[in-house]
Amino acid sequence: MNILRVAGDTATPVEDVVASEEPLELRLNGFSFAVLMRTPGDDGVLAAGFLFAERVISSADDIERLEPCTDRDHPHARNILNVTLRGQALGNLDRMLDERRCIVTSSSCGVCGRLSIDSLQVHAPFIDTPLSMARDVLRSLPDRLRQRQSQFDESGGLHAAGLFSREGDCLGAYEDVGRHNAVDKLVGRALIDRALPASSRVLVVSGRASFELVQKAFLSGIPVLAAVSAPSSLAIQLAEAAGITLVGFVRAGGFNVYTHPYRIMRQR
């Protein structure tokens, strides 16, 4: 798009690339369930991760089909995804629709649409895994994630999330206007690949560590969550209770470990 770039006293018309954000309507067996504000692309894994985080599904077996809207006359067909549930998830569909308000979930919030504070609580096994990693590997992860942010290079307006091994190998990464969407895409991919719980993996996010990101890591069995920026107080409380090693302000020079520091070792 054409913009006016101002530097000092100079204003120059230039062409710029901006991050794409569009709504995605999720329909469960024909019923509208949620509208997500997201960066288009990878909608199937985004839906799977989102529905897993919302406890609509518990495994890939709960999904019969993920398919785009086939109504060519619908003006928003490209932004509608039909999800067909089966098994226990299908049996719980009426209750899930009754318990959740069908509203827009913004790209900055991963817990919109809940009916009560109690509904934010999740139940998953305490993460008690022997995974450990070297400090120098942990410090390197934001730069390794940055190398996978091709869309950020163009627009500068996207968050990223990556899943890494304890040795620092990137096993997958996604970008999105919403940091929780990027995590949902990662989790959705792992869910479809039947790679959950991800008990030997490290989750790295490009922004802050909020409550909903720790919650997604908890449900996915991920023992270490590293963020480039700060964690919130509620994120720290949940990480402590869940058994997650929560690390913030990860930079080349160091980082802060807020919970369960025993997983971060001095040497390889």
CA–CA dist 154, 246 (Å, integer): 30
Q: Cβ(39)–Cβ(151) under 8 Å?
A: yes
Helix/strand/coil (H/E/C) assignment for every residue in 48-116: HHHHHHCCCCCCHHHEEEEEECCCCCCCCHHHEEEEEECHHHHHCHHHHHHHCCCCEECCCCCCCCCCC
Residue whose C-alpha is closest to residue 141's, from 160, 167, 174, 168: 168
Q: Which residues pair with 263 in a beta bridge?
A: none
Look at phi and psi of residue 194 and say left if phi exceeds 0, alpha if psi is from -120 to 50, else beta.
left
Find the catalytic residue in 69, 102, 109, 112.
109
- Which phi and psi angles does 127 have, rounded to 5°? -85, 100
Say whether 109 is catalytic: yes
Catalytic residues: 109
